[in-house]
Chains A and B, each alone.
Chain A
Amino acid sequence: MTDMIIPPPAVGLRRLRAAFKDLTLGRVCLTIVLLLGACLMVFPFVWMLSSSLKPTSEVFDADFRFWPRTFAGVQNYYDVLVTQPYLRYLLNSLIVCCGILAVQLITAVPAAYALAKLKFRGSTIFLGTVIACLTVPINVTSIPIYLGLVKMGLLDTYFSMMFPFFVSVFAIFLFRQFFHSYPDSIIEAARVDGFTEIEIVLRLILPAVVPAAAAFSVFSFVAHWNDLYWPLIVVQSQEKMTATLSMMQYRSTFDINYGRTFAAATIVTLPMMLVFLFARRAFVRGITMSGIKG
């Protein structure tokens, strides 16, 4: 079995020699600099994870060591997940992100299809509005939306946390570009075959849009998981607090228990890190897709 993997010695030697030929001083230095930079990027995560396993007394020890002298990890995470309502916060974040995403997809996909493939009066104005709205961030519209929610007595509800994001003009624009490149001939052929317009959307278009929708989903989910601004404005009670918002409890004055503080920070960051590691391609695509946004 193993002999099959090991290449014949001649080939291996040639490859080794080729590798060494590329190995100039400049390249080695560059690699070292890149590695050092990468370490710097990752260090905060390592430090956070390490501190979340330590008792308070060890967190600010003069010489940093990854593994604690006294292991307090179990206690810290138990405190955060069981004694403190972090499971509630995570659940709230999950509910809000899923709710937002579901409504965004349900409203954006049909609108985008209509814009790309159906003729109707006013389509240019609608598309123009969508593109103009691409540049408008929530920070501009937050005051009127907040006042409206106050008047309707809806502050501190899941609805108020999700409402401003129910329509994603970015998704409409993105999916419209996507549908635009979908061949008309296939749709025509389906029409000739007696497919109704609804059937065309359900049986041809929806399966085709899945990759773009997946990338957008990751993008949307991460954006709203990490959002601090809007929850900070509309959430008032512990029951509705999101994971990201819960970090505000530690502002300026840490929890006296440092280990526990960073266990909480780890728990809040972890879901998006896992999404990233397991769905890296979709993630990077989702982020670079924002290349169209702006």
Chain B
Amino acid sequence: MSATASLHRRQSRLAYAMIAPAALLILLIYIGPMISVVLASATDYSLISDYWEWVGLDNYRQMFADAQFGNALRNTAIYAAVFLPCAFVIPLTLAISIQNRKQFRSLFEILYFMPVTSTLTAMALVWSALMDSRQGILNQWLSTIGIGPVNFLGSPEAVLFSLAGISLWAIIGFNMVLFMAGLTAIPRSLYDAAKIDGADHPVDEFLRVTWPALAPTSVFVAVTSSITAFKLFDTVAVLTQGQPDHASEVFLYLTFLEGFEYFNMGYAAALSVFFLGVIFVFALIQTLLADRTAH
């Protein structure tokens, strides 16, 4: 037996030993539960009774007929429509403004990034106090310019906007740091070349150099922010519990309610499968766009 063959055999035996714990856990935490959730979505299992039977696609049929499901999707979409453009444009503007300055750069970085590190569940309580309809400081500020009082978290019209505002506060620093990392990676020579070609105005420079070179970062920020928007949960759970009148009942919160409050496990499993489908679509979009922007 040659020495290399025995080395290979020893290597692969060692390799299996090294991946074994991780592989076992992936099986238990990812693969098994994913198969189970698909199977469970075809049953009427609920934690309350041990008796259950196969119901085929009934849960999915129920889902698309369910007014609550439609409502949750609509709420999530409205929330995302407010949240996403701001979560993209504001951090990009900030990153470009802060990137090249000598004074205050790290100060701005620290201050804008602080909300990212904080515990959103705790800060949500602070926001609800700031947004209080009667005594909140935001309404005091608004009343000084003659707008008056907004029931930020208590009115069906305002609640999704208010939640979007809180999420925005929490994500701006995060996306800004990602954009700054992207900007740092753009070689100086591209700007010099553009200058020779006659791009001296900052807007010109942005359109010709920054925007194309930043494309991979932009795709990443857009996709991760979309997934974050779709996963909105913490602030809803602490502040509104889907109220008033289901106006803030977003998709993940509905899934949580069905599964862990009402224990309709079969139906909640179907919602989870739908959720997984949406996430996969986002991942697919990212892969496709990443391939395109890489060229």
- The chain A residues found within 8 Å of chain B, CB to CB, are 30-31, 34-35, 37-38, 41-42, 44-45, 47-48, 51, 59-60, 62, 64, 106-108, 110-111, 113-115, 118-121, 123, 126, 129-130, 133, 135-137, 139-148, 150, 163-164, 166-167, 169, 172, 197-198, 222, 225-226, 228-229, 232-233, 243-245, 247-248, 250-252, 254, 258, 261-262, 264-266, 268-269, 272-273, 275-277, 280, 283-284, 287-288, 290-291, 293-294
Contact = CB atoms under 8 A, between A and B. Distances in A.
Given A261-B125, A266-B122, A294-B224, 8 more contacts: A45-B114, A110-B21, A110-B22, A143-B259, A222-B117, A265-B122, A280-B110, A288-B178
Contacts of B224: 290, 293-294
Contacts of A47: 126, 129-130, 137
A34 B33 contact: no
Contact of A226 (B8, B121, B174): B121
Interface of B: 8, 10-12, 14-16, 18-19, 21-23, 25-26, 29-34, 36-37, 40, 47, 94, 97-98, 103-104, 107-127, 129-130, 132, 135-137, 140, 169, 172-174, 177-178, 181, 220, 223-224, 227, 231, 233-234, 237-241, 252, 255-256, 259-260, 265, 268-269, 272-273, 275-276, 279-280, 282-283, 286
B33 A144 contact: yes
Contacts of A248: 121, 237-238
14 contacts: A34-B98, A42-B111, A44-B115, A110-B19, A135-B280, A137-B279, A144-B33, A172-B22, A228-B237, A244-B121, A252-B241, A272-B119, A284-B177, A294-B224
A130 B31 CA distance: 11
B265 A118 contact: no
Contacts of A133: 26, 30
B174 A120 contact: no
Contact of A141 (B19, B22, B30, B120): B30
A232 to B, nearest CB: 7
Given A44-B123, A262-B125, A167 B25 contact: yes
Contacts of A136: 30, 34, 276, 279
Chain B contact residues, majority secondary structure:
helix
A250 B238 CA distance: 8
A71 to B, nearest CB: 20
Contacts of B256: 229
A152 B17 CA distance: 28
Contacts of B132: 60
Contacts of A272: 117-119
B265 A143 contact: yes
B280 A123 contact: no
B255 A139 contact: yes
B112 A250 contact: no
A294 B286 contact: yes
B234 A228 contact: yes
Contacts of B241: 251-252
B30 to A, nearest CB: 5
Contact of B34 (A64, A140, A247, A277): A140
Most buried by A among B29, B104, B268: B29
Contacts of B125: 247, 250, 254, 261-262, 265
A243 B118 CA distance: 13
A151 to B, nearest CB: 10
A118 B269 CA distance: 39
Given A261-B125, A265-B126, A130 B119 contact: no
A143 B126 contact: no
A118 B286 contact: no
